Structure 1
């Protein structure tokens, strides 16, 4: 008699918000897969749907509530986790039949809630997890989260109340995860946290053993060791640093970029430049020294890309403050810039500040900063025409009537999902998604480059 294999319960997942939340979702799904669950591509086929929410802005909360509503309407068996987990009363007031609600990074609670809702099937045929765990990103790039929480108390932010103070992961564990991801096919590691520069502050930068040597729990040591790792085929991986506050020790990673050990890219959340606004935001306000350091970084590593985000319309921001920011951007010449209109967030200290900026003024300032940064970006990209750049292939299109294929790639100046692309023509048949390639740049617009693979 042939023994029937027990059917694995199926889990659906909706992951909202930032890359840090995406890593949380990957960890949850990896644990559930190891517990005998399979994944469902749609609501209808799922025994339980997980919604990993974002609660950073009111608009993000609305998106999360809409996603919960869709999952309830399509499936009805829903577990909510993530940053909105601390607003369980609000969620249950709208959706009283939610099975369970847990907070951000509460992996064990989420898994236990799934076990209660749909007990796992166990067996040798279903307890299989891919090397490196389950991923929600393409095989060739991976997010590497090095810490949780934040020690800053910025007036516009509620992250510490959602995720707590800084808790750094052991450096040997981070390096081991990076090594496993590369062994599983990753070509690009994107280092993320709430504050990458503060890595290890909470553990006094303790040392751990890694491959026979003491390595400090510190951003510079971590960056240097990640630069020593190699891909499965022996290549130098791209290692990209995100959420880097411009502390003095950041200067020490720039030579690693110049030497090719790190991707020459820094994602620095400046948020503003006017000293009075930075003071209201409870942010560091030494913008003159920052400009000098940016110039110094470019002297050491001319190809460095600096991206940042800015908030316009913060309470108390005057026209003079905003013009100061525009002038600062002219001087800083940042490569990639995102901007946000200030939104009050429940629980944020900024809500109590006087002199709110009218919505129509926020819109006008937002349009002006985007026009300014688009012009800077366009000029920088125009200067790359005629150069040969290394790219990584993200997607390849179908062949046209002449048998030619196009592809979407990224240069070292482009992080996935947030920056521009390098759009390629006449891609050879041997080129595959995830490959590195050398590309001649033929044209550019405000955000993207256009080119052809050499040879």
Structure 2
């Protein structure tokens, strides 16, 4: 007689916020899938919907509350986790029917809440461990989280209050995960944390054995070992500590992508001081010049806050002038938002909203001109491009150069590329450029 298996409960997931949240979502789903749960692509088919929230800015909180509201309206059985979980009273006041609320990184509590809300029917055949971790990104690139938390006390940020102090993973555990990802088809590893440069500080940069040799819990050593795995390695959230200089030769040698994501936040000394950020902007310009002398193709991206309390027109113009000299490749900007619990909320000199908008428009226009000029100089060059999508109908494809991270940077648009597949890394002749993107034809 055939055994009829019970249907496992289905889990839906809405993941908001930064790549670090995305990695948390992947870990939760992997654990649930290993326990036999099935995944639902929509609200209607889910027995429970998980909403992994972002709580960094008030606008992000509103987006999270909107997502919770949609999940409640479409399904009604919702578990909330993530950064906004620390504001459980606010969530329950608006949505009293929420099944459970947990905070960031609370993997065991989230899984436990799912067990309670949608228990797995008893069956030895349903508890199947997946061949590899479940991913919420395309197969060819993966986010690799190396630590949690942050030791900085920036006046505009509440991340340490949400995620705690720095807690680094052991280097051998990170390398083992990266090795599995590459074996499963990952062509690009995106290294993320709250502060990648501080990796291993809490471990006192101790050594662990890896492949018959010791490897330190240190950003430089970790980057070097990751580079040996054969995938592109891209470093995000890198604070410009002095030891970052030692990563640049790894880029020149091809072990690590010539790309640094550094959150400078501002350039005017008084604003940086009010932000409780390092304020030696002249030294940064010297280091940028030195990095480019070692690795001419290095691409530096950063983000800046405009309209910070007390920011004067002169200080904003100082930032624009600094950006002209710094010639950063990719720039994002944010209007300052007061966040409950942030020290900056009590600072004098609040900038009017209309001034924030005007400054935001100016910095984006200013940096777009810099980007356009830099991209024009790439016309005629041949660049390596990783393919993200292929359009079979028009024969085109979209990819990224080594200077472009997914979702946040520019793209390379290709013609005559129907023979390519997602995840290919090909040589491309650059034929044209606009403010943010390149256009070319594959040579492979």
TM-score range for the pair, normalised by the shorter chain length: over 0.9
Question: TM-score by structure 2 length?
Answer: 0.99
RMSD: 0.9
**Alpha-carbon separation, structure 2, partners of 1:265 and 1:249:** 16
Check conservation: 2:34, 2:130, Cα contact below 8 A: no
Q: What's 1:377 paired with?
A: 371
1:80 lines up with 2:63 in the alignment: no
Q: Offset at 1:127? A: 3.4
Q: Offset at 1:203? A: 1.3
Q: What's 2:60 paired with?
A: 60
Q: What's 1:203 paired with?
A: 203
Find the residue that maps to 2:432 and give its secondary structure: strand
Which whole-Å deviations, capped at 9, do the CAs of 1:176-198 have from their partners, x for residues lacking one? 00000000000000000000000
Matches within 5 A, 1:161-310: 161-230=161-230, 237-310=231-304
1:6 lines up with 2:11 in the alignment: no
Which whole-Å deviations, capped at 9, do the CAs of 1:281-309 have from their partners, x for residues lacking one? 00001111110000000000000000000
Check conservation: 2:390, 2:418, Cα contact below 8 A: no
Q: Offset at 1:206? A: 1.1
Matches within 5 A, 1:4-43: 4-43=4-43
Which whole-Å deviations, capped at 9, do the CAs of 1:110-154 have from their partners, x for residues lacking one? 000000000124656543444430000000000000000000000
Q: What's 1:97 paired with?
A: 97
**Alpha-carbon separation, structure 2, partners of 1:44 and 1:322:** 49
**Judging changes above 3 Å, is the alpha-carbon distance between structure 1 residues 390 and 96 closer, same or farther for their aligned structure 2 residues?**
same
Q: What's 1:439 paired with?
A: 428
Question: TM-score by structure 1 length?
Answer: 0.96
Q: Offset at 1:414? A: 0.4
Q: What's 1:399 paired with?
A: 393
**Alpha-carbon separation, structure 1, partners of 2:130 and 2:388:** 21
Q: Offset at 1:213? A: 1.0
Check conservation: 2:170, 2:217, Cα contact below 8 A: yes
Match 1:323 to one of 310, 317, 332: 317
Check conservation: 1:36, 1:121, Cα contact below 8 A: no
Check conservation: 1:44, 1:75, Cα contact below 8 A: yes
Find the residue that maps to 1:380 and give its secondary structure: helix
Where does the alignment leave 5 or more consecutive residues of structure 2 unmatched? none
**Alpha-carbon separation, structure 1, partners of 2:415 and 2:427:** 13
Find the residue that maps to 2:202 and give its secondary structure: helix
**Alpha-carbon separation, structure 1, partners of 2:277 and 2:118:** 46
**Alpha-carbon separation, structure 2, partners of 1:441 and 1:449:** 7
**Alpha-carbon separation, structure 2, partners of 1:65 and 1:113:** 20
